[in-house]
Structure 1
Amino acid sequence: MNYRFYTISSALMFITGLASAANNSAWNCEQTKNGEWTCLNQGPANAPEPPQPAQTVKTAPAEPANPAKPEIVAQPPAAVAPAPLQQSQKPELSKEPVKEAVKVVEKSGTEPQKLRVKVGENQMPEVEKVEPKTQVAAGGSRTQGWTCKAGDAKSGWDCNLVGADPRGEAHIVDENGVADVAGSLWFAPAFSHRQERDFQTLRAEFDRDPWQSCEVWGKRKPKIKATSKEARDAATTEINADFSEVFDGEVLNFAGNVDMNRADQHLVADKASYDTVAETLDAQGGVLYSEDQLAMSSETLSLNMGKDEARLRKAQFIVPQAPFRGSADVVYRDSKSLSRYNEAAFTSCAPGNQDWVVHAARLKINRESGQGSAKNAWLEFKGVPVLYTPYISFPTDNRRLSGFLAPTWGSTQRNGFDASLPFYWNIAPNFDDIVTPRYMSKRGEQIRNKFRYLTDMSRGTFAAEYMPHDQLANKARYSASLKDQTLWLPGLSSLLDLNYVSDKTYFNDLNNALGFQNTSYLPSTGMLTYARTGMYLSAAGYHYQSVDKTITDDLLPYDVLPRIGMNFSHAFDDFPLTLALDNQYSYFSHKTLVNGQRFNVAPSVSFPLESSEGFFIPKISALYSQYQLSNQTVAGLPSSISRTLPVFSVDSGIVFEKDMQISGTPYVNTLEPRLFYLYIPRKDQSNIPIFDTALFDTNFYSLFRENRFSGYDRIQDANQITLAASSRFIDSTTGLEPLKLTLGQILYFEDRTVDLFDRNNPTLRPFAQPQTSSTSNFIGELSGQVSRHLRYTTGAQWDPELNSLSRGQFALKYRMQPNQILNIGYRYRRANPQDVVQTVNQNNTTQVFSQTISQTDVSFRWPLFGEWFGLGRWQYSLNFDKTTESFIGIEKENCCWRFRVLGRRFINGANTIAFVDPSTKPETAFFVQLELKGLSSFGDHVDTFLQTNLDGYRKDNFFE
């Protein structure tokens, strides 16, 4: 109830009670500071001794009395004392109606009998005896607490309690009352059952459960905003209590079910005293205090509400933002953001779970700076101490803090035991650095450094690694990289991505076995771009370094410096016309091959007619290229070459829709035929070097390309039409697409003679026979989403000329994120004669060939039992006749921690090069990761590896 209302009501009850007592001279009552009434049963001077004890008189409830006029119903003493009440006698009861029972306890003796009268709102006063303190005979003191003796076989334990229960719950003590602490303290719970119950009570103080969806620990949590001091000062304090007392209108005493509220602050206690001037609050007995960013319970509480200072003893607390919870013998809150804890224990586990707990003799948390520190701290996991430190500092939120990060370790067949200990240096709000010493038992020591910066214009990183002496390679090894993004002006930006390694096998040897060599070349790029509506200008440079020992210098890509592009486009709003102009200048350089400059101009005009029912887009382009060559390796070839080719295309399609029902389920069925015609005249281009051009892979979308070659060095000859169609079945109820079928094929009206043959490099680009088939591969794809969790995809390409399968794939994907993932797939790709791969055999001679790919792939993450999950992958190459990639592991995860064990067996580089020597032996690696959620992660970064290798696996923070 509101305090003001309660004061008025209590005053009325107090006045009424005095009036009733005045009519009875036998009662002399006064009110104590804690709101209780003490009455002396005072009679006439010649009255005899009071009656003998000790009888309780209870009146049965009758009709409700007027709550505004409570009465004390008891038989007043007469002039002559009545005869003592015997055990078998019943007292005389008042005939007046009362609201509820009143208990009267009398006591004999020469001293006046003290009675305590309790008055509550809308209640009759309750009178009870004030028990005297228990007197203990001299020399006969007894031990306080539980004393248990072994009883007989029938009665079991014989236990007696002297004084208050020291713990509030039963526990074993010896004959002297000492608790039995035999056994290992390591496996004793950090929080008792009573404390866990208190945590559940504190948990309910927040509008939102701090551990809601705690399995997804990385999920972005809503920030909890603290109520301002101004809002608290302006708020009215409401107090509910059974008893109250006011001194001078400033000091308020409350007792019995005290419940106080002010803004976001809430206090529950047995007793409380509040000074309105000093804004101080003292509370005792079952104290619970909560606000927006904190909830605490304790035996006693001293709180300065004006300064947000507090002191608690035997306290439990919950900080919801992290979230974490803990206990402490003493808690000092020095301000709204700073708190100190003595003999503290805390964890981020939800109440009821104590899998890991950090203990500290002294703990300090500063929410304003986002930092915490602890002295004499030790970590226990499953009740077993695993780590101790005399001092540690740590962040309490996502703000950066200098210090050591969690170590990583693992074991690989290539490097042996591999351990790293990163040190994070928070240089400035926009600069930081990570220095990582690394030790590999088979190779030696390595130092890594990663510097990050962020300015108003730029952001980037500079990383470097250095190994003074590789014991296996017997040489020094190093690498460096620089990545930078800068916005100079609106629309004007630059990009730098520069990389260098000391040798070709650097990544294969020194990358962690959880990492991947995902390319045969290490690119370095620099680019400056300017973009605005209808215009795009760029200037760039490219350099490539081989990181694959099977790649010779002849097959290295060309360096490009510079490459300047100018692209313009404009679409008219009121007329179906689009104009475009693509210009590009490039200079190509190579150590062993012909060099050259290329200038390309490609104007185009199209007439797009589009609507929701279909489209019709004719387009005319002109391609002009000019080459200036140098360092030619073949005599007799021209050094200046020009090429001009017109390109004409028409792309058209239409969409038909039909509503239908299948087995009572409504569907929308679509039919989408599409025609694409392309004409490019034939022109011999074999004198033009291949600088940056390759053949696109064949798929359904390649049926609609204007050029089947990437780059400008080859423009295909074409007189062809593509016939294609798609059909979909869409569930009108769920929006799912359980079936999608696409079919397509190109019909050729002429033979194709343009290929990748290069007269400047006839060994690397051999001559190929003209393609005389009248049709392309027949391409079909079938896919669909059976349910929210199950999807399938399959596709095939049939070669009508060879009457055989050219491409094929199948994939079945089941997703019940984040716990259930299953992928089953197969991929087939027949060797293409125009695919060129170079290796060096034992005689150091160059071999050029193409290889068929036939590969199965199965991966999963699946619940096993309880909170345990199994995960793994098996990728088997049928053409290599061996497993190219496999790993198997188990993972346990709950709201408190995650544990992973992973074993990997793989062929290094099998997924990035087209040929693997049959004698290549697979490598093995073993990794362990323990993540204490909300604290740190120990071991290697297995989650990053799984995100790359287990299709569908995502880090926790992906599921928002």
Structure 2
Amino acid sequence: MRIALLATSLTLALAAPGAASALTATDWVQCVPAEVIPAFPDASPPLAAGDESTIVGAERAQYLDRNLTVFEGDVTLNRGDQWLGTPRLVYDQAKDTYVADGEVRFQDPSIRFRAGHMEGEPGNELTRLDDVTFQIIDLEGNGHARKVVMRGQKGTMRDALYSSCPPEHRQWSFRGNTIRINRETGVGTVTNGALYLGKVPVFYLPWATFPIDERRRSGFLAPTLAVSGANGLDVMVPYYLNLAPNYDATLSARYLGDRGVMYGGEFRYLTEHSSGIFDGTWLPDDDRLGRDRGLVSLEHLTRLSQYWQVRADLNNVSDDRYFEDFGSSLIASSNRLLASNAGLYGRGKYWNASLSAEIWDLNDPVLDSSFEPFRKLPRVQFSWEQPILGNWMVGGLKAEAVAFDHQVKADARRVDLRPYLQLPFEGASWYVRPELAYRLTAYSLDDSLKVNGDKTPIRSLPIASIDAGMFFERPLNMGGTDLIHTIEPRLFYLRVPGNDQTDLPILDTQELTFGYGQLFRTNRFTGADRQSEANQLTFAVTSRLMQTHSGRELITATVGQSFLFSPSRTVLPGQVAAERDLSPLVIELGVNLSDRWTFTSAQHIDVDQGFTELSAFRLQYRFLETGLANLSYRFRANELEQLDGSVLYPVSPSWRLVGRWNYSLRDNSTLEALGGFEWQSCCMAVRLMGRHFVRTREGNSSNEILLELELRGLGAFGRRTGSLLERAILGYDR
């Protein structure tokens, strides 16, 4: 005798909405799973792997005639890892039918259920169940159905309910008059369905489809919802198109109450050698500005061989206020330049090469096109580094050739070559790395770019440096804890002779922001238009206190400074060379004495002038199980001075308060403030946030309200708050 147990279990497991979905990221660990149907204690252990036989056990068996068999008294059936129990089962061999009366119990690794009645026709792959209550183990979901019918790969559930909440506290549930399952296509269909919060229907679905396995399916995705001062009511409804196994698309309609409807699309593709994403947005006739607005971008990668690939990152925006109006942070709106680049890139064991093009869109309504960076059409780069003479010497070359183009300014060409030799001497606790390089930079300039009447200026100069360091350590024991204390001194000498570079144009060069890493660089400028003059010795020392068994750093302190034997006269146009004997003193400190307290600090002190160029600290305190508080201060002379505080406070296992305040002391204004709460139970979560933030470079601010509803095992609805909180609150984790 054979009975279709497998089909029955799949009918119920796949009918649950979201059964094929992974659990959401929300931390539900404090919740006890809703065990509507606990494991049956009298269930037999699974059969041996590969055993496909069906074993029937019963207290009594009656053969009423040649074809009819009645099993009574704790009837059990085992097949593989599936088990079924019922008080009475009648099997008709002639008709190939069976009927199970009384309470029917079933379990396998994925599902458990109880039913009031079960009958089937194994030869026709037909199973019927009445009054079914089920528990889906992997999703910890549960529900019931008045009737379940399964025929082959297709099934139907009548008057069905699914939820991840316990029955006595149905905070949410999904109900449908009819749910049809097709395992061949991997699609379920619901008619007269509704989403309930408590006993209140909040969303009605007269007809809808949903996936029941991992196969991708076209359909609507969860909508997002927000309210902001810049755009009014903000609702976006995305629709996913599964076009082929290797490419798909997502279309969206975003209703902006104060602007109109913005249409969006994203197309993804993947071939044997290529992949990419093409997306864009279009807002026809913005109600506020009276013109079309949008953004289009393309990311592409093609692998030509083991060594070569083509990459492209192309972007275009309709206007210079787009990111201010539709971005979600001051960082997005303050990006004045939108870059596009494409090229051929190669990489081998000892070399890197590229042929690329790079253009820029100026995204600033205040500046005109003369402030736009030069386009690089094209840019050729090559670098090589390889040991020579065994491991005693390393030889290398960095080379670049660029043709510069500009809408307003004249054009230029530049070649920059930097061959070098290194002698890497090192031992277990020391290293000495002398390096000698020679930099040659040549230009071909149009008339309006030439300086001092020279259209083909050339700069050539040697660069010599020695980098040396040592590592000292000793064991310590403090309070019964084994520790390691290290002292790591480092010396770096740099010599670059003076060279008058005032006849060289500035094509793509800027001065780097000073930091600890600058103490050990051979050039304080980006690009090739300036090579800083130097005759200096840098001394730095780092000391660490670490746990011996884990390597965890409890305290890290670093001090560094450069001693300038002669001042650098290399500056950008409009700057005046500083007469100084010392670089700013860099002091960095990190303290991590416990799992709860963390402190970091950085100071840049101008010893010559007697003032602080940079000061920053951050203090974090973790309390209870999930609570944390952050406080930071940032100061950079003549640029910014800010306070930033944030907190995540668990009021109870279900309630958490969140907040952040980022304040500019220099401008006496709030850059960003947000506050709200999270509430979660064992099966659902609600997040409500209010936010005030600066969205334009002129300081214009906006307010918005974000609401997110997350139903365990089903998905999230509303504006996603996770990425916002992760950015705003250091250490935030759902």
User: Scaled by the length of structure 1, what TM-score is found?
Assistant: 0.69
Cα deviation, residue 250, structure 1: 7.8
Q: 2:507 aligns with which of 688, 691, 694?
A: 691
Maintained 8 Å contact 1:829/1:854: yes
Maintained 8 Å contact 2:374/2:405: yes
Equivalent-residue separation in structure 2 for 1:789 and 1:480 (angstroms):
45
Hey, what does 1:133 align to over in structure 2? none
Q: 2:583 aligns with which of 768, 771, 776?
A: 776
Equivalent-residue separation in structure 2 for 1:671 and 1:276 (angstroms):
85
Equivalent-residue separation in structure 2 for 1:278 and 1:548 (angstroms):
81
For 1:861, give the aligned amino acid. L
Identity rate, percent: 29
Q: 1:262 aligns with which of 79, 82, 103?
A: 79
Hey, what does 1:185 align to over in structure 2? none
Hey, what does 2:657 align to over in structure 1? 870
Hey, what does 1:857 align to over in structure 2? 644
Question: Based on CA coordinates, which of the two structures has the bigger radius of gyration?
Answer: 1
What SS does structure 1 have at the residue aligned with 2:284?
strand
Equivalent-residue separation in structure 2 for 1:231 and 1:311 (angstroms):
28
Hey, what does 1:628 align to over in structure 2? 444
Equivalent-residue separation in structure 1 for 2:262 and 2:390 (angstroms):
65
Equivalent-residue separation in structure 2 for 1:789 and 1:245 (angstroms):
70
Hey, what does 1:418 align to over in structure 2? 234
Hey, what does 2:286 align to over in structure 1? 470
Greater relative contact order: 1 or 2 (C-alpha under 8 angstroms, separation 6 or more)? Answer: 2
Q: 1:544 aligns with which of 357, 360, 368?
A: 360
Hey, what does 1:810 align to over in structure 2? 617
For 2:326, give the aligned amino acid. L
Hey, what does 1:357 align to over in structure 2? 173
Hey, what does 2:119 align to over in structure 1? 302
Maintained 8 Å contact 2:39/2:112: no
Maintained 8 Å contact 2:676/2:690: yes
- Single out whichever of 577-586 and 367-376 deviates more from structure 2: 367-376
From the superposition, tell whether residues 570 and 921 of structure 1 become closer, same or farther in structure 2 (CA, over 3 Å): closer
Structure 1: which 5+ residue stretches go unaligned? Answer: 1-195, 208-226, 758-765, 832-851, 911-915
Equivalent-residue separation in structure 2 for 1:572 and 1:252 (angstroms):
87
Equivalent-residue separation in structure 1 for 2:498 and 2:60 (angstroms):
103
Aligned residues: 701
For 2:575, give the aligned amino acid. F
Equivalent-residue separation in structure 1 for 2:278 and 2:267 (angstroms):
5
Q: Which has the higher strand share?
A: 2
Hey, what does 1:614 align to over in structure 2? 430
Hey, what does 1:200 align to over in structure 2? 38
Maintained 8 Å contact 2:329/2:694: no
Equivalent-residue separation in structure 1 for 2:675 and 2:41 (angstroms):
39
List aligned pairs for 1:259-338, cutoff 5 A: 259-273=76-90, 281-303=98-120, 309-322=126-139, 324-335=141-152, 338=154
Equivalent-residue separation in structure 1 for 2:43 and 2:445 (angstroms):
78
List aligned pairs for 1:21-170, cutoff 5 A: none
Maintained 8 Å contact 1:200/1:351: no
Maintained 8 Å contact 1:594/1:689: no
Cα deviation, residue 658, structure 1: 0.5
Cα deviation, residue 372, structure 1: 1.5
- Single out whichever of 459-468 and 815-824 deviates more from structure 2: 815-824
Equivalent-residue separation in structure 1 for 2:657 and 2:155 (angstroms):
42
List aligned pairs for 1:507-518, cutoff 5 A: 507-511=323-327, 516-517=332-333
Cα deviation, residue 719, structure 1: 1.0
For 1:889, give the aligned amino acid. G
User: Scaled by the length of structure 2, what TM-score is found?
Assistant: 0.89
State yes or no: 1:767 paired with 2:554.
no
Hey, what does 1:925 align to over in structure 2? 704
Hey, what does 1:896 align to over in structure 2? 683
Equivalent-residue separation in structure 2 for 1:514 and 1:284 (angstroms):
67
Q: 2:534 aligns with which of 709, 712, 718?
A: 718
Cα deviation, residue 860, structure 1: 2.6
Equivalent-residue separation in structure 2 for 1:415 and 1:526 (angstroms):
34
Hey, what does 2:671 align to over in structure 1? 884
Equivalent-residue separation in structure 2 for 1:206 and 1:486 (angstroms):
55
Q: Deviations over 1:417-475 (max 9, x none)?
A: 22222222222222222222222222222222222222222221222222221121122
Equivalent-residue separation in structure 2 for 1:342 and 1:856 (angstroms):
59
Maintained 8 Å contact 1:353/1:896: no
Maintained 8 Å contact 1:514/1:942: no
List aligned pairs for 1:577-656, cutoff 5 A: 577-632=393-448, 636-656=452-472
For 1:893, give the aligned amino acid. Q
State yes or no: 1:953 paired with 2:732.
yes
Cα deviation, residue 388, structure 1: 1.0
List aligned pairs for 1:675-690, cutoff 5 A: 675-690=491-506
What SS does structure 2 have at the residue aligned with 1:478?
strand
Cα deviation, residue 790, structure 1: 3.5
Hey, what does 2:29 align to over in structure 1? none
Maintained 8 Å contact 1:826/1:855: yes
What SS does structure 1 have at the residue aligned with 2:370?
helix
Equivalent-residue separation in structure 2 for 1:588 and 1:818 (angstroms):
56
For 2:191, give the aligned amino acid. K
Structure 2: which 5+ residue stretches go unaligned? Answer: 1-33
From the superposition, tell whether residues 607 and 248 of structure 1 become closer, same or farther in structure 2 (CA, over 3 Å): farther
From the superposition, tell whether residues 562 and 259 of structure 1 become closer, same or farther in structure 2 (CA, over 3 Å): same
Hey, what does 1:218 align to over in structure 2? none
Hey, what does 1:103 align to over in structure 2? none
Equivalent-residue separation in structure 2 for 1:688 and 1:444 (angstroms):
50
Equivalent-residue separation in structure 2 for 1:204 and 1:694 (angstroms):
76
Maintained 8 Å contact 1:595/1:631: no
What SS does structure 1 have at the residue aligned with 2:551?
coil
Cα deviation, residue 321, structure 1: 4.5
- Single out whichever of 272-281 and 614-623 deviates more from structure 2: 272-281
From the superposition, tell whether residues 921 and 197 of structure 1 become closer, same or farther in structure 2 (CA, over 3 Å): closer
Equivalent-residue separation in structure 1 for 2:370 and 2:351 (angstroms):
37
State yes or no: 1:786 paired with 2:602.
no
Equivalent-residue separation in structure 2 for 1:540 and 1:817 (angstroms):
53
Hey, what does 1:700 align to over in structure 2? 516
Hey, what does 1:799 align to over in structure 2? 606
Cα deviation, residue 231, structure 1: 6.3
